[in-house]
Amino acid sequence: MGVESCIQTTLDGATLIDVEVQPGSSRQGIVGFNEWRNKLQIAVKAEAKASKANYAVCNILKKIFSKKTELISGKTSRSKKIKIYDTSSDEILDVLGVLLEP
């Protein structure tokens, strides 16, 4: 399985992405794909306090995909589900394919 295993399409045309967050990192952005957990790995400089890391994750994905994002689940966990509005899973896979090239 590849990165497509962490992406789901909803009935309203949005896309859900399963992510694993690394808060308090020295870098920020998409850093890889965890094949064991089937989650996109995102590092953020923000600490996991007062939802700062949650905001940072949504902000990173908003900048990458140029679409509205929303945290759906995992507010207090490193594992989260993020909703990206008005985009297809194919569009997301195209962008991630470029970002995750070895």
Domain segments of the chain: what residues?
A: 3-96
- 80 C-beta neighbours (distance < 10 Å), count: 23
SS3 34: strand
Structure tokens at 77: 């966990």
Cα–Cα distance, 102 to 92 (Å, whole number)? 18
Superfamily of domain 3-96: YggU-like (3.30.1200.10)
Contact 65, 87 (CB under 8 A): yes
| pLDDT at position 66 | 94
Kindly report, residue by residue over 50-82, the tens digit of the pLDDT: 999 999 999 999 999 999 999 999 999 999 999
| Section 79-101 average pLDDT | 92
Q: Is residue 28 over pLDDT 80?
A: yes
